[in-house]
């Protein structure tokens, strides 16, 4: 075939790492190590192009072999059937980093000397679509917006922060940041489903500015489906940055009431509440969490909206299920004969421990009391971990380091094992934010560590010893999976 004259490195990120056995690509003879160039005469630029172009039933793929020669392969498959290819680079392109200098940016508040991925600021719409990351839209051209609409890439998660163009430019320290509101409207008009968020900063984008933002974004419903409001995080490493403080208890209460008032107003108009305050606002205000129905399907869980309510309901359900199965002598994965001994006063005792952030501690402590009430011979010591690494104002468990766990648990009764939530660990690895490993912490504390998934059923089963330990596979929401 005729030579396709393009620079060799243009498609360097399209190298095929694996081909699924018996997949359409496998049957067509496509091999790992080859580079995908075109599909049906159209150049593949990134993962979006690939996902869109492989939907057809008949494909003509141009591949570059490892020796540099080109070949064409015809693939026959069912419509929308996956081609069966994995690539060395998940995006098939470079990651797009953030061009803003936000006054509230958490990454700018990290201490020096941490691993490279901690400092990477992603602002890539493709990661928003694939992984749920939030983007500001400031580094997206009109062509990028048109591509999202053409491929109908939904949902998209957008960090708005304010709909006031001048204020948005100041908050993001980007003179083009105000243009994003027009891009939002264009995406909404194009039928793209979106979720949005506001990082709320005291005396900056709260109060009347928050009213404006909620109102203007709610008018884009139903294309813009939800809005979450989360409080700014402030570490002790803010030297030289915009003076920022955290919300007081009274301010948290006022913000919750403001959002709840908007929920009722919008629900009367649309049938949905649309805007939600994160759990931090409720907890720091000293309020009970809203009912499960309030969260309308938990569409903003990754932003900490309804996470504790969902966990609470899951824990209640799992405990009830365990008790029912034991008492009814039924069968199922939750029933082990040994569970009965935990319900007897003279049975064998089980003692272990759990560690969490200051924010979630009252809830985790309450869950363990519920379990102990039904299974008296099971005792869990729960320890709240103060964040000395980032500063005491950081109270979430996902930012706890191995060093803080080691220092604060070294003299504690940890029982037979220590339960830790998965969000304390790095992507696909058993490594904390400060690079301490699970094994190093186990050796330091002389206790076995069990990494528990984030749902309530897993927590109850881990406490009762019903499931074998599993390797953690996932990623911290505070860093990307990889950087290239």
CATH number assigned to the domain comprising residue 383 = 3.40.50
For residue 273, being part of any structural domain is answered with: yes
**405 and 348 within one domain:** yes
**344 and 222 within one domain:** no
Phi-psi region of 415 (alpha: psi -120 to 50; beta: other; left: phi over 0): left
CATH number assigned to the domain comprising residue 212 = 3.80.30.10
For residue 128, the cross-strand partners are none
For residue 474, being part of any structural domain is answered with: no
For residue 446, being part of any structural domain is answered with: yes
**β-pairing verdict for 156-159 and 134-135:** parallel
**266 and 136 within one domain:** yes
**285 and 343 within one domain:** no
**149 and 278 within one domain:** yes
SS3 assignment, position 468: coil
Q: Determine contact, residues 425/479, Cβ cutoff 8 Å.
A: no
The CB density around residue 29, as the number of other CB atoms within 10 Å, is 13
Rounded to whole angstroms, the Cα distance separating 280 from 260 reads 15
DSSP H helical ranges for 333-435 = 361-374, 402-409
CA nearest neighbour of 107 among 98, 97, 119: 119
For residue 205, being part of any structural domain is answered with: yes
The tens-digit pLDDT sequence of the chain (484 residues) is: 333 344 445 566 789 999 999 999 999 999 999 999 999 999 988 888 888 899 899 999 999 998 989 999 999 999 888 899 999 887 777 766 677 899 999 888 988 777 766 666 666 566 656 666 888 898 888 888 998 898 888 889 999 999 999 999 999 999 999 998 899 999 999 999 999 999 999 999 999 999 999 999 999 999 999 999 999 999 999 988 999 999 999 999 999 999 999 999 999 999 999 999 999 999 999 999 999 999 999 999 988 999 999 999 999 999 998 887 777 655 544 445 567 667 766 667 899 999 999 999 999 999 999 999 999 999 999 999 999 999 999 999 999 999 999 999 999 999 999 999 999 998 778 999 999 999 999 999 999 999 998 899 999 999 998 865 444 444 444 444 443 3
**153 and 38 within one domain:** no
**319 and 274 within one domain:** no
Q: Which of 35, 53, 87 is the last residue of a domain?
A: 87
* Number of independent structural domains in the chain: 3
Parent domain of 38: 11-87
Q: Please state the pTM of the whole predicted model.
A: 0.83
**349 and 440 within one domain:** yes
- Sheet containing strand 134-135, edge to edge, reads 134-135, 156-159, 194-200, 224-231, 275-277
**317 and 200 within one domain:** no
For residue 94, being part of any structural domain is answered with: no
Q: Which of 283, 303, 323 is the last residue of a domain?
A: 303
Q: Which of 266, 282, 303 is the last residue of a domain?
A: 303
For residue 102, being part of any structural domain is answered with: no
CA nearest neighbour of 370 among 305, 314, 299: 314
CATH number assigned to the domain comprising residue 78 = 2.30.42.10
For residue 379, being part of any structural domain is answered with: yes
SS3 assignment, position 478: coil
Rounded to whole angstroms, the Cα distance separating 57 from 49 reads 16
Rounded to whole angstroms, the Cα distance separating 214 from 227 reads 8
The CB density around residue 74, as the number of other CB atoms within 10 Å, is 10
CA nearest neighbour of 83 among 91, 97, 73: 73
**277 and 170 within one domain:** yes
**356 and 287 within one domain:** no
**398 and 328 within one domain:** yes
For residue 2, being part of any structural domain is answered with: no
């Amino acid at each position: 075939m005729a030579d396709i004259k393009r620079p060799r490195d243009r498609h360097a990120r399209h190298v095929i790492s694996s081909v699924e056995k018996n997949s359409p690509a496998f049957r067509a003879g496509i091999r790992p190590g080859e580079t995908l160039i075109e599909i049906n005469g159209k150049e593949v630029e990134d993962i979006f192009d690939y996902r869109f172009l492989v939907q057809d039933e008949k494909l003509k793929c141009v591949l570059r072999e490892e020796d540099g020669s080109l070949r064409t392969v015809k693939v026959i498959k069912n419509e929308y059937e996956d081609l069966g290819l994995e690539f060395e680079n998940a995006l098939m392109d470079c990651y797009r980093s953030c061009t803003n200098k936000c006054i509230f940016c958490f990454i700018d508040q990290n201490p020096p000397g941490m691993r490279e991925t901690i400092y990477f600021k992603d602002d890539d719409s493709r990661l928003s679509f694939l992984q749920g990351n939030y983007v500001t839209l400031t580094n997206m051209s009109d062509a990028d917006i048109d591509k999202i609409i053409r491929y109908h890439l939904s949902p998209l998660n957008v960090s708005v922060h304010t709909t006031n163009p001048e204020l948005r430019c100041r908050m993001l320290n980007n003179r083009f940041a105000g243009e994003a509101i027009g891009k939002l409207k264009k995406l909404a008009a194009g039928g793209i489903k979106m979720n949005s968020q506001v990082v709320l900063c005291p005396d900056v984008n709260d109060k009347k500015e928050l009213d404006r933002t909620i109102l203007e974004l709610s008018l884009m419903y139903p294309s813009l489906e939800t809005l979450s409001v989360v409080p700014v995080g402030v570490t002790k490493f803010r030297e030289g940055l915009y003076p920022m403080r955290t919300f007081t208890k009274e301010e948290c209460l006022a913000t919750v009431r403001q959002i709840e008032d908007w929920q009722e107003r919008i629900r009367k108009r649309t049938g949905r509440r649309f805007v939600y305050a994160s759990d931090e606002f409720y907890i720091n205000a000293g309020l009970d969490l809203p009912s499960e129905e309030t969260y309308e399907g938990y569409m903003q869980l990754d932003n900490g909206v309804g996470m504790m309510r969902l966990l609470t309901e899951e824990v209640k359900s799992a405990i009830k299920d365990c008790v029912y199965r034991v008492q009814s002598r039924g069968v199922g994965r939750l029933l082990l004969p040994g569970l009965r001994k935990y319900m007897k006063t003279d049975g064998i005792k089980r003692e272990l421990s759990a560690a969490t952030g200051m924010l979630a501690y009252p809830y985790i402590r309450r869950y363990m009391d519920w379990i102990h009430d039904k299974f008296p011979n099971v005792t869990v010591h729960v320890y709240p971990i103060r964040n000395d690494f980032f500063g005491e104002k950081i109270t979430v468990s996902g930012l706890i380091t191995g060093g803080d766990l080691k220092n604060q648990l070294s003299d504690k009764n940890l029982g037979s094992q220590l339960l830790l939530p998965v969000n304390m660990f790095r992507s696909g690895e058993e490594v904390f934010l400060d690079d301490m490993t699970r094994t190093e912490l186990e050796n330091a504390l002389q206790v076995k560590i069990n990494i528990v998934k984030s749902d309530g059923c897993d927590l109850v089963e881990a406490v009762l010893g019903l499931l074998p330990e599993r390797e953690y596979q996932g990623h911290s929401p505070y860093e990307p999976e990889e950087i290239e």
